[in-house]
Structure 1
Amino acid sequence: MNNSNNLQKVFNNDVYINQLKPTAKAAMLIRKPIDQVFEAFINPNITSKFWFTKSSDKLEVKKQY
């Protein structure tokens, strides 16, 4: 069996799909002072204007969401 057939067989195997680790990467250039950027990401009053439509509370260190 050649490599493309092996790949097709593995790709169609449900076990292979479960072994994939989800990965997401994003980047954004923000031309503002770091304190303003940080506040914008943790303060729902600001974040809801550019990132999310709503938020339940301000983000806090070591808090799980």
Structure 2
Amino acid sequence: MKEYKISEKSARDYVGRFNGIIEKGIYKGENLTTTSMRKNIEKEYPNSISHYLLALER
């Protein structure tokens, strides 16, 4: 896994996005990002797709 250097605020943003993905039932512990996960993120977060995909993939 690659490490990324980010600020505290960015880390909190990632945690918030990741928790939102879990709460919506989009992520259920899969090891890989699936097509259905991507589609659900596009549907739930249309204005922030790239941010939520990064939170999931990183």
Which TM-score tier does this pair reach, normalised by the shorter chain?
under 0.3
RCO higher in 1 or 2 (8 Å CA, sep ≥ 6)?
2
Q: TM-score, normalised by structure 2?
A: 0.25
Structure ranking higher in helix proportion: 2
Q: TM-score, normalised by structure 1?
A: 0.24
Q: Who wins on radius of gyration, i.e. which is larger? A: 1
